[in-house]
């Protein structure tokens, strides 16, 4: 099982507030995509997956009209 450092960003919808909620954690999983599907299993959501050159996996997620991003960097 692989271990990842995850960064979960929840973007603020207020136009005059550019701050976002950011949560950093360590996760063990063999499939980050399955982790995302399980994390949001009770929600209607869409996501786009991007793999960067350094191997970081990024999921841009929209659920309940809120934009979020989950980044997985292998430790």
The pair of three-digit structure tokens given for residue 19, joined into one six-digit string: 């701050």
Per-residue pLDDT of 23-36, as tens digits, reads: 999 999 999 999 99
Which pLDDT does position 20 carry in this prediction? 76
Which pLDDT does position 72 carry in this prediction? 98
Which pLDDT does position 63 carry in this prediction? 92
Per-residue DSSP letters for the chain? -EEEEEEEEEE---TT---EEEEEEEEEES-HHHHHHHHTTTS-EEEEEEE-TTS-EEEEEEETTEEEEEEEEE-
Which residues of the chain carry a pLDDT beneath 70?
17-18
Inter-residue contact 66 to 10 (CB < 8 Å): yes
Domain range annotation of the chain: 2-74
- How far from chain centre, in Å, is Cα 40? 10
The pTM score is: 0.89
């Amino acid at each position: 099982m692989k271990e990842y450092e995850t960064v979960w960003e929840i973007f603020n919808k207020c136009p005059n507030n550019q701050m976002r909620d950011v949560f950093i954690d360590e996760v063990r999983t063999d499939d980050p995509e399955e982790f995302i599907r399980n994390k949001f299993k009770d929600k209607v959501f869409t996501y786009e997956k991007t793999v960067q050159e350094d191997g970081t996996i990024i999921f841009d997620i929209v659920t309940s009209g809120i934009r979020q991003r989950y980044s997985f960097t292998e430790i």
